[in-house]
Structure 1
Amino acid sequence: MPLGPERTRAAVSALFFSNGLMIGSWAPKLPTLMQRLSISEGTAGLVVLCLGLGSLVVMPVFGAMTARHGSARAVRVATVLAVPILLLMSVAPTIWTVAGSVFLFGGFLGGMDVAMNANAVVVERRRKLAIMSSCHGFWSLGGVAGAGLGGILLSRFGEIGHAAVVTLTFAITAGIALRYMAQDRPSPHEEKPPLRLPRSGMPYLLGLIALCCMIPEGAILDWAAVYLQREMGASLALAGWGFAACAATMAVMRFAGDVIRQRLGAVRTFRISAVVAMIGLTLSSMAPTAGLAIAGFGMAGLGIANLVPIAFSAAGNIPGLAQGMGLSVVTMMGYSGILLAPGTIGQLAEYVSFGAIYLGLAGLLVLPLLLSSLARSAEFGAGGEEGLAPAA
């Protein structure tokens, strides 16, 4: 018996929240790992790199699984495999075993990310309504909860206690959601797509869009506080508001984004969002005071919020392409912007100011703006189905 649309929407939203909770829990855990293993910042940087490598390696595997067996099965496998990894990381005795568990942590949660985005596309098709932006909003809430409560749990219960509480919360939340998520198992008589990267150029162009949109997000996350302190003369307390302003406006706009996309259409919403993000980044780069720069970062968050969800939704609805394969390409390319770009920006900042870098990132968004017509596959017309590929 098929589940109701509201129940499947709630289920996929809970999956996004639980995934964000686990990812957010990583942020306060890294200093604890460094202290326990007595490793330097340089060595810790290599451990962090394992997180990104795990995601980039494993995401295509779950993309293929989604294409062959449906997103529900892929989410289930990734979730079950992800459950024990935080605990494993907490008891791993050496730098090598920690690095291996971090690789698996990034890999299985990255695989879950691909599959749950594909499941959100399934729910969008069946409801004939946009939900992707709010799903990413729930991911942001999970990330805030994981990062915000992580320090409290670590200080009160220790590393293993923190891992146990987060793991139990993740297992219960995701376990309930798995029971009610949209099922999309392909027909046994349906020809299964080949396990290879797409030959069409569309997913790679959408991946380039996601990459260009996520680089500014990563740049604000990692470098906004440094910019505000070193170049704007802000205090440490005030400097932290750079990313906070961006994250807050991004979360609010993601919950409003589905209604906006439904009303204005995916392409128009994407174009307006890109322009708003460009104005915000430009304001931050040229602001005479730290307060105006923070306001610019907040405005950039308003614009950035719905760019990636629309790109993901478009990737899952490319006509004639299995959604798991398209999404794996777009997520892999997009997240590489957050994983790899901050280090490059740090090197660049030795030669040019952060103000110039943020102005350059505003210019980078010109490319997604020029390619915005590709978001048409995420459109929901008056009849609800315009621009969508046939449901699997």
Structure 2
Amino acid sequence: MATLRYDTPASLQTHKRRVRAAITLFYFGQGLAFASWASRIPLIKSQLALSDAQLGTVLLMLPIGQLLTMPLSGKLVSKFGSHSLLPIMALLYGINLLAIAFAANGIQLGILLFLFGVIGNMCNISVNTQGVLGENIYQKPIMASFHGAWSLAGFTGALIGLLTTNLHLSTAQHFLLIFVLLIINVFVNRSYLAPPSENLTMKRSFSFKPDRILISLGVVGFCSMATEGAMFDWSGVYFHDIVQSPEQLVTLGYASFMIMMAIGRFIGDFVLQRLGRQRTLQVSGLLMFTGMMLSVAFPNIYMATVGFMMVGIGVACNIPTVYSVAGKHPTIPSGMAIAMVSTVSYLGFLMGPPLIGYIAEVFSLRFSFALFSFFGLLMFIMSSKLKVFKV
């Protein structure tokens, strides 16, 4: 169990920047580990001689591991505290990443990815609970910047992956480097994490039962993550098949979306303070709707890029805001509340991409994108009606 350096309200306020830095670096570490794995997928596929279908099946093990352990993660965080669980799980996440490099076949890789999903989910619930506690210390929105650190880690991990590949380092050497960085990160920052809130003991006695607020927050998260998942998996295909961009510019849509999402997260806290949660989510929903419809109505490289940039800004603050609100539930522990909302939200990320493919098979990819734009409109309507966003 981590011994915390600052465990009184006075010391927390005095050193709150150090606490915020520690939480930020744990977000960064988790994003770096995941991006490092993603950067090596093509090479691992080739080394294990996996077909496209086999790789798809193997990759599915990761979200299955995440979804199956959502309730368990919430209970563990509530019982032991995110400050205790996060450092342990962050180390296990690094060990699991390193083990992936030594998978000898698809079955071993599938088992390791399932565990990667299980441990990654526990890291996710723990670090987002820390994000909520960090906001409580600052008494203002800072959750978006934490998620911005995760996005920045994604770029960093991709660049390190590109560099290690060009230097002809093996996957094991690459992942060992990341593991060492994760170890340093954990031991430097574990004592500076935020302590549990004072009313945690009172909340622990509550028998967890999802209420209307958490389900509604989950639906808002579902709309955002379904759109996000569609952009992650289908932006390249859309630019290739519909926009018919030059081969060297096929990734332009994905890159523009990712860059604007990262920027949106770093400026998101400022926007939330100025506009408030409700208006920010309303604008976000309209940007998602307008951006996707723009790329559908005018499928040329210029308008589609602008549309994808709008979607990137639109999705940037939604999940941080939803998790922040869930973590402040008056009667349910933060970890369990976030786990509930995360479960519903993540279903959107999991179901969105294949759903686009099925719709495109029957109608067209443009029709799929047009249909998915209405998730933004639904999010606008729900955020307008939910009283919890008005606070």
Whether TM-score is above 0.5 comes out as yes
Q: Give how far 1:101 is off.
A: 0.9
C-alpha distance in 2 between matches for 1:189 and 1:251: 36
> Which residue of the other structure, out of 166, 173, 177, is the alignment partner of 1:161?
173
User: Quick check: 76-85 or 251-260, which moved more?
Assistant: 76-85
> Which residue of the other structure, out of 324, 332, 348, is the alignment partner of 1:313?
324
Could you tell me which runs of 5 or more consecutive residues in structure 2 were left unpaired when the two chains were aligned.
1-5
> Which residue of the other structure, out of 221, 226, 246, is the alignment partner of 1:215?
226
Find out whether 1:74 has 2:85 as its counterpart: yes
Find out whether 1:193 has 2:193 as its counterpart: no
CA contact (8 A) 1:206 1:311 kept: yes
C-alpha distance in 1 between matches for 2:111 and 2:348: 23
1:219-277 deviation line (CA, Å, top 9, x unaligned): 11111121121122211222211011111111111111101111211111111111122
Letter in 1 for 2:215: Y
1:301-323 deviation line (CA, Å, top 9, x unaligned): 11111111111111111222211
CA contact (8 A) 1:124 1:130 kept: yes
Match of 2:278 in 1: 267
Q: Give how far 1:179 is off.
A: 2.0
C-alpha distance in 2 between matches for 1:212 and 1:29: 29
C-alpha distance in 2 between matches for 1:194 and 1:320: 7
Q: Matches of residues 314-333 of structure 1 in structure 2 within 5 Å?
A: 314-333=325-344
Find out whether 1:181 has 2:183 as its counterpart: no
Letter in 2 for 1:13: T
Q: Give how far 1:152 is off.
A: 2.3
What TM-score comes out, normalization by structure 1 length? 0.91
Find out whether 1:115 has 2:131 as its counterpart: no
Match of 2:372 in 1: 361
Match of 1:139 in 2: 150
Q: Give how far 1:334 is off.
A: 1.6
1:158-215 deviation line (CA, Å, top 9, x unaligned): 111011011111221233222211111768964623564x331221221111011111
SS of equivalent residue, structure 2 residue 363? coil
Letter in 1 for 2:365: F
C-alpha distance in 2 between matches for 1:271 and 1:129: 20
Distance 1:318 1:167, change over 3 A: same
C-alpha distance in 1 between matches for 2:345 and 2:210: 19
C-alpha distance in 2 between matches for 1:188 and 1:277: 36
1:50-94 deviation line (CA, Å, top 9, x unaligned): 111111122321211122232212312321321200111111223
Match of 2:3 in 1: none
Find out whether 1:89 has 2:100 as its counterpart: yes
Runs of 4+ residues deviating >4 angstroms: 185-191, 373-379
CA contact (8 A) 1:72 1:185 kept: no
Q: Matches of residues 31-70 of structure 1 in structure 2 within 5 Å?
A: 31-70=42-81
Letter in 2 for 1:78: M
Identical positions, percent = 29
Letter in 2 for 1:265: G
CA contact (8 A) 1:193 1:322 kept: no
Q: Give how far 1:99 is off.
A: 1.1
Match of 1:152 in 2: 163
What TM-score comes out, normalization by structure 2 length? 0.91
Q: Matches of residues 180-259 of structure 1 in structure 2 within 5 Å?
A: 180-184=192-196, 190=202, 192-193=204-205, 196=208, 198-259=209-270
Find out whether 1:11 has 2:22 as its counterpart: yes
Letter in 2 for 1:175: F
C-alpha distance in 2 between matches for 1:341 and 1:174: 34
Distance 1:320 1:373, change over 3 A: farther
Find out whether 1:350 has 2:356 as its counterpart: no
Q: Give how far 1:373 is off.
A: 4.8
Match of 2:182 in 1: 170
Match of 2:296 in 1: 285
Q: Give how far 1:375 is off.
A: 6.4
C-alpha distance in 2 between matches for 1:188 and 1:248: 37
C-alpha distance in 2 between matches for 1:314 and 1:187: 16
